[in-house]
Amino acid sequence: MDQLSKNGGGATTESATETLGKVHGNRRALFVGINYFGTKSELRGCINDVKNIKDFLTRNYDIDEYLVLTDDSSDPKCQPTRANIINAFKWLRQGAKPGDSLIFHYSGHGGSQKDQDGDEEDGMDETLCPVDYATAGVIVDDEVHEILCRGLPKGVRLTSISKCVQGNNKCV
């Protein structure tokens, strides 16, 4: 169990446990990096973020399987489209059992939009912006929860690492 401690400024920080990194089940990771090449929303470092995080994790931990979606891929199945990201969420959790560790890393545009179902305290849903967001739409946090999180077996660890560039509460 993670321990919480107070630092001198009163802020809460999470300290690592002795068991961190000692997963007794399978480790599976999904890495998504989107630079939005050739668009007004182009970013420069998202694919590098994915490469660096993937390299760090695979060098320091035993990752059994991983999937990388980046918009520099020549394989259409590895492009970070809305459909491919959603399918990758399903792949990530497929067959998960107690003791497994799942990792999701996203680097790209993110945004906010008006909450449609009243479940957000601030009235806004957060979004991920796939490479084809202009035609296929964004991925709303409720969808991420429904597809990736809801119903995961007890004892499965899901870690999400995101670096979202947000502009004007919407995908740029």
CATH, residue 52: 3.40.50.12660
**Is 95 inside any structural domain?**
yes
Question: Per the domain annotation, does 78 fall within a domain?
Answer: yes
Active site residues: 109, 164
Which ranges of the chain have pLDDT less than 70?
A: 1-23, 113, 117-123, 166-172
Lookup result for tokens 């001198």: 8
* Count of CB atoms situated within 10 Å of the CB of 148: 20
Q: Is residue 109 part of a domain?
A: yes
The answer to whether residue 6 is domain-embedded is: no
Which tokens hold the place of 17? 């446990």
Pair of tokens at residue 60: 């320091």
Tokens encoding 95: 């067959």
Cα 159 versus chain centre, distance:
8
CB atoms within 10 A of CB 129: 27
Total domains present in the chain? 1
Are 16 and 6 contacting, i.e. CB atoms less than 8 angstroms apart?
A: no
Does 5 map to a domain?
A: no
The answer to whether position 171 is within a domain reads: no
Residue 9 in domain:
no
- Please give the model's pTM, rounded to 2 decimal places: 0.83
The predicted pLDDT at position 112 comes to 82
What is the Cα–Cα distance from 53 to 42, expressed in whole angstroms?
Answer: 21
In a domain, 10, yes or no: no
Range of the domain at 73: 24-166
pLDDT of residue 27: 95
Digit-coded pLDDT (tens) for 26-71: 999 999 999 999 999 999 999 999 999 999 999 999 899 999 999 9
> Alpha-carbon Rg of the chain, whole angstroms?
17
**Distance between alpha carbon 65 and the CA centroid of its chain, in Å?**
16
pLDDT for the residue numbered 7: 37
DSSP track, 37-92: TTSTT--SSHHHHHHHHHHHHHHHS--SEEEEEETT-SSGGGS--HHHHHHHHHHH
Distance CA 79, CA 86 (A): 12
